[in-house]
Amino acid sequence: MSAQNVQERTDVVTFKGKPMTLQGPALEAGAPAPEFRLTAGDLSSLTLDQLVDAGKRAAMLIVVPSLDTSVCSLESQKFNQRLGELPAGVSAWVVSMDLPFAQARWAGAQEGDVRLGMLSDYRDRSFGRNYGLLIGELDLLARAIVVIGKDKNLAYVQIVPEVAQEPDYDAALKAAAAAA
């Protein structure tokens, strides 16, 4: 999908009360997970098939605007602390527009071990556009949780209506565990 033909959706999220425009389609649980190319900390690319390890694991994607903000940092810390609630068949990743260097800086500044994987959509925004989570006005990702099953279908999609608020942690972790 080219940038010129991207679907735009309004009335889905606000940022500090102001309505924002999401670029890309509305996704629902049960649908096939769209393809993407995200960038890992070593600057290598990671695809959907690699994320689910060719059908050997499910993936929980913790999508945040920027780890350099208080809510995104807090959310990522909380999920990192609760990773033990997930079965071995689920990997958990933070996805943002932050450069991999900024993601590594954030992880290094945390107390204790950060076991969440870090992925960036900065290169081509294929994740944000294909998953309908790219905020047009900000060129950042909306706050969301996406769980992809081993079968590469969407098991769970939670878009937080107000970008400055936290997600429903319990529902996300329950969905991720069920997808294992």
Range of the domain at 30: 3-178
Per-residue pLDDT at 1 exceeds 80: no
Element (H, E) at 126: helix 126-130
Query: Could you give phi then psi for residue 129, rounded to 5 degrees?
Result: -70, -45
Long-range contact list for 67-73, CB < 8 A, 24+ apart?
67/94, 67/96, 67/98, 67/102, 67/103, 67/106, 68/98, 68/102, 68/106, 71/143, 71/164, 71/165, 71/166, 72/96, 72/143, 73/106
User: What confidence score (pLDDT) does residue 3 get?
Assistant: 52
Percent of the chain scored above 90 by pLDDT?
96
Which residue type is seen at 91? S
For the record, the structure tokens of 151 come out as: 């079968």
Query: pTM of the entire structure?
Result: 0.95
For the record, the structure tokens of 100 come out as: 């991999």
Per-residue pLDDT at 10 exceeds 60: yes
What CATH number has the domain bearing residue 169? 3.40.30.10
User: What confidence score (pLDDT) does residue 5 get?
Assistant: 74
Catalytic residue chosen out of the listed positions 6, 52, 72, 140: 72
* 72 is an active site residue: yes
**How many CB atoms sit inside 10 A of residue 52's CB?**
20
Number of domains in the chain: 1
Reduced to 3 states (helix: H, G, I; strand: E, B; else coil), residue 53 is helix
The mean pLDDT of the chain is: 96
Give pLDDT tens digits for 91-113: 999 999 999 999 999 999 999 89
Percent of the chain scored above 70 by pLDDT?
98
DSSP-derived pairing of the beta strands 18-19 and 14-15: antiparallel
